[in-house]
Structure 1
């Protein structure tokens, strides 16, 4: 029979075990300036808190997106999750947590333009007009196939940072960026003379999710339950507004010509019917 002292020690041990930290390893983007990282880490902390878990977030070494996806599929993976745009292929390779982290704004795109080309897209009013110009993208981004499926010309780079010098060298005409990242990227490269186009807004339906390794139902469950609770109590939206409300206001999206594209890569399971998960400018 256990003494009261033994029972007390057992309770202490059980409490300590229940509060043990869950380590979540995430990849760093292969660039010195990742405009998404602080928001994503904020969402991870929020999800863990709402799920009642003590999570320790740990950065892994930098890697490009395609390498991170391959790494997460390995049994000895050095990462536990990544955040990226969804596609049919990616949802086949990895396990998505189907809460759109940017409320769909990853599919609302504003163009960065090269030095001295601020008015390049002033006369673009429809998709046919836009086809006269070439876009730049990362070679492993789903956006490449979305833009090409719409008949747009796309040039690619295997690395992220060279895209900005390619833009100024007029290797391509415009660099479509999500409205939640374009200001940060502009600020990081403004000394090169780039500008933000004030005229058009490209839209295609898509989502940016946390992805975990196939079969990692425990971590997927923690993230899903935590994010759902954050959505229900309004803390998700508060964090979203904290990071993005200013940029959305300054970009004056309602004054732009909207060019809508289909997304042939969008999985059928995308929760488009849940209106509370999406933002519309």
Structure 2
């Protein structure tokens, strides 16, 4: 584990010691939760973790918003629980005790496998791409405030940020030549976003030639100032410890998510780029067996 990540874990452990168990078994909690439609699996993992810890929870959907706004709402306690990707700002908020993250990979690490979406007329655009240098000839679209922008820009790949994208608004910008590619997590793109986008913009397709890979995880995070923060954080941590050992984490994940076929990986060129903010060891050792590596498993 890197010195940087050891520091992060030390802070998380220190913060958790400030929150002694206050789990009221049998009490029904009402929890304001991130409500993005593609995160039903993450919500169910969190709900199951709470049940394992003896808590019955009612999830109240929070308003949809971008990553920056989501973190602000979590810091202020307007959202009690979310499942956003781990960004530098989130790590900073965790170090400051504003949010409480549990380093369990809700997406099994699949978020770090990035699939490019592009126009059907440009489907073969990346056929000859073999390296970061090749990929840097193109411009990527990204949601406003996404950390991925920093990663791509650091290796020389140009990006353009868009404010609205959930309903394929970015396709019009593609058609106008503003950018050529719109990468998303491989699994979430194939399972949810691409079918959804194609009902609105049939011209959008998945690139069949490359995948970009980097350390990128989705952790559950609890607001430190929200009502019942201590009970919620302790219960989730206890529940995920149980789920990681009794097999229920993988059972719930498999019920909601279908992993891409191995051909989705083996038939594409994998281009790895570094994440300057953290590495794969950000995931707690007790949860690392949950990570999915299609090239080994």
Query: TM-score normalised by the shorter chain: which range applies?
Result: 0.7 to 0.9
Give the one of 167, 176, 184 matched to 2:183: 176
Aligned: 1:35 with 2:77: no
Q: 1:211 matched to which residue of 2? A: 221
Deviation at 1:261, TM superposition (A): 0.5
Q: Normalising by structure 1, what TM-score?
A: 0.85
- The answer to whether the Cα contact below 8 Å between 1:27 and 1:63 also exists between their aligned partners in 2 is no
Q: Secondary structure at the match of 2:219?
A: strand
Q: 2:87 matched to which residue of 1? A: 87
**1:235-250 superposed matches below 5 A:** 235-245=248-258, 247-249=259-261
Q: Normalising by structure 2, what TM-score?
A: 0.80
RMSD of equivalent CA atoms: 2.0
Q: 1:252 matched to which residue of 2? A: 264
- Which structure has the larger Rg? 1
**1:80-119 superposed matches below 5 A:** 80-93=80-93, 94-119=99-124
Cα-to-partner distance string for 1:97-121 (whole Å, 9 max, x where unaligned): 1101111111111111113111111
Structure 2 unpaired stretches of 5+: 1-23, 94-98
**1:45-60 superposed matches below 5 A:** 45-60=47-62
Deviation at 1:251, TM superposition (A): 6.1
- The answer to whether the Cα contact below 8 Å between 2:26 and 2:54 also exists between their aligned partners in 1 is no
- The answer to whether the Cα contact below 8 Å between 2:116 and 2:182 also exists between their aligned partners in 1 is yes
Classify 1:43/1:206 alpha carbon distance in 2 versus 1 (closer, same or farther; 3 Å): same
- The answer to whether the Cα contact below 8 Å between 2:41 and 2:257 also exists between their aligned partners in 1 is no
Deviation at 1:84, TM superposition (A): 0.7
Cα-to-partner distance string for 1:221-273 (whole Å, 9 max, x where unaligned): 2111111211111111122223333x511762122100000001227971365
Structure 1 unpaired stretches of 5+: 1-16
Q: 2:19 matched to which residue of 1? A: none
Which stretch of the first structure deviates more once superposed, 160-169 or 221-230?
Answer: 160-169
Q: 2:78 matched to which residue of 1? A: 78
Q: 1:145 matched to which residue of 2? A: 150
Moved over 6 A (4+): none
Which stretch of the first structure deviates more once superposed, 160-169 or 134-143?
Answer: 160-169
Q: Distance in 1 between the 2:181 and 2:194 partners?
A: 13
Aligned: 1:129 with 2:138: no
Q: 1:188 matched to which residue of 2? A: 196
Aligned: 1:233 with 2:232: no
Alignment length (residue pairs): 257
